[in-house]
Each structure stands twice: as C-alpha cells, then as structure tokens.
Amino acid sequence: MNLLENITLGGRTLKNRMAMAPMTRSRANLNGVVGDLTSMYYAQRASAGLIITEGINISRQALGSPFTPGLFTEEQIEAWKKVTQIVHENGGVIYAQLWHTGRVGHSVDRNNELPVAPSAIAIMGQQHFTSQGMKDYEVPRALSSEEIKQIIKDYGQAAQNAMEAGFDGVELHAAFGYLPNQFLAESANQRTDEYGGSIENRNRFVLEVMEELVKAAGANVGIRLSPTNLLNNIVNDDPVAQFTPLIKALNRLPLAYIHLMNAMTPLDSVPHYPKNVMETFGSLTDHLVIANAGYDMETGEAELEKGIAKMIAYGALFIANPDLPKRFELKASLNQPDKATMFGGGEQGYTDYPFL
C-alpha cells in the first residue's frame, strides 16, 4: 500500500505517507497554554508519518477563537516543549501550524479590540463561535502597511519560537479564509497599496511571510492553501490566475511541502472554479504535495497512484482513530468521530478514542 511506504520530507524519513491534518480542538486554557491532555493527544497519534498541529496563534492580535493555543509567550513555548518531546519519544515528526485568523474572530475574546483584516469588510451570512456563544461577525479594522510588515515579523518570531519548542518544522496556514487567504481574495482584499489591487500585490503578503519563515526554520517549512475554498466569504475572480503565479513563486523557496486542500463545499455558485485541485494546482509545484480533505483509505491510495500528491492528510479520521495507519494496514473497522466533542471540553472525544 502506497500510504504505508516511507517518504523523505524536509530531510527526514517519515514512516508512512499519512499526515495528521491540522484541526482546531480548542483545548488550551484562556492564556493559550496547552496541557497534559494535548501532549497525550498528539503522542497517541505519533504513528502518523507527519503530525501537523492545530492552528497556533502567532501573537495576541492573531487570536480568533477562545481556548486556542499560542506560541508567543514563554509559558506557551514551554508547554509545547512537552508535546514535541513526547511525540519524538513515540517516534513521531511534528510541524507547528502558524495561524493568524484576521477577520475570523470577535472582539469579545480580544479584549474588546476588533479583528484586523486587509480591508474593512465583514464576513456575512455566518456566525462565529465565541466564549459568549455564537455571534455575528463584526466589520474588521483594516491593517496599515506598517502593521502588515509587523505581522510578517511576528510570523518569523513564531517560527523561531516553534523551533525552540522542539518542532521539526512549521506550516503557514494560508487556507480556509484566515488572514493570508484574505489577502489573496478580492472578496476580502480591496486595498490600493502594495498589498492589494493586482494579483502580484495580493500574493505579496503570503510570499513575504514564507520568506520570513524560511529565514527562521530553513527548509523545514510548508504552506497550506485552499484555492477553491468558499468558507468565510472567500471568493476569487479567477483562482487559476491568482494561485498559479503564487505557487510558481514558491518554487523559488526551499520548502518541505505544499499542502493543498480540496473544496469542502459545493462549487455550484462558482462554475468558473476548477474542479480538480491536485491536477490544476499540484502540477505547478516543484515541492512535495500533501493532498487533504475528503479522503478515506481507498481514495487516498488512488490519489497517490495518480502521482501528483505524495502524501495524504487525514483530519477527522485521525481524531477518531489514533492508530489510523495500523487500521489501514489491517483493513480494520474505524471509529466514528463524535462531532459534539470536536471543539472544547476535556478528554471525552479527545484522548479517549479506543485503539485496536
């Protein structure tokens, strides 16, 4: 089975081609510090070829949802050291996903400060999970160019902090409608300075962040992109025109991988969007491709056989099956994820899923 073969990534030999996808679990405390349960959660899943953590806030400004972890205080860094140590003791490889939520947040969890974004455009037709329940999105505050340059530095500092905490590498979360993705989309970015307007300018933020990450972590850097994502009001006039020069520009950097997400919602409203993300965008990169979203054992194996993707990232299946590679190997039955315990809470639905 291709999924269970070794592969080299970022100079490391991985035990299989299965990645644990990044998934928000909201188990940190209000100071963004993870605890022993998080150490156990990731250690249980160390049989994955690669673990990519849940999104980790790079700064206080980056925070979007309560109980999500950070990587910008000494206490947070020390807590992550315990996670990386136990994952390594169990033979795992773990990358930190670096997260700035941009406008996907609410002031009630940000000391009454509005979320920030490329432009002052609110997310409509959705609500946000907050510590006070579901709330409508607010109009975010548009970032100044000086603030944008500081955020780029914040990403670099977070990458340095991640390496200090013992992570094997970092991934930029540039997907799913969070801040980097907001810069890429006309629906969220209507700036007229160097970070908006043309396709080249809308790509600039992501490329400058990636350059900063490579300075901090060398070739142990990946990026997650969702070229056909519609969540959080992200709409591109022409995704192929937007992402083609971005991915080709990323070829100039010494990256570990590009992590591409399939569409997770119907694309009926955008008939001009390409239907096959891997063929359209994965074929453009010189880097190793990790394919994500919607795969099971059979479809993951079929995707690898096509030759563009070299690894498959599994999300909910890894939540419910800490020993997922072994279950695939034995073609064993799978536990089903409990959606009610996905976000927040304690060990239930987090560390209590049974092994074979």
What is the pLDDT averaged over residues 67-74? 97
What is the pLDDT averaged over residues 1-16? 95
The C-alpha atoms of residue 341 and residue 237 are separated, in whole angstroms, by 37
Choose the catalytic residue: 178, 195, 350, 353.
178
The C-alpha atoms of residue 256 and residue 169 are separated, in whole angstroms, by 9
With a CB cutoff of 8 Å and minimum separation 6, the contacts of 144 are none
Task: Name the burial class of residue 329, with classes exposed (0-12), middle (13-18) and buried (19+) by CB atoms within 10 angstroms of its CB.
Answer: middle
Segment 269-293, tens digit of pLDDT:
999 999 999 999 999 999 999 999 9
| Exposure b/e, 266-302, CB count within 10 A at least 16 = b | eeeeeeebbeebbebbbebbebbbbbbbebebeebbe
Average pLDDT value for the chain: 97
pTM (2 d.p.): 0.97
The DSSP bridge partners found for residue 128 are 135
Segment 172-216, tens digit of pLDDT:
999 999 999 999 999 999 999 999 999 999 999 999 999 999 999
To the query of whether residue 137 is one of the catalytic residues in this protein, the response is no
Segment 92-135, tens digit of pLDDT:
999 999 999 999 999 999 999 999 999 999 999 999 999 999 99
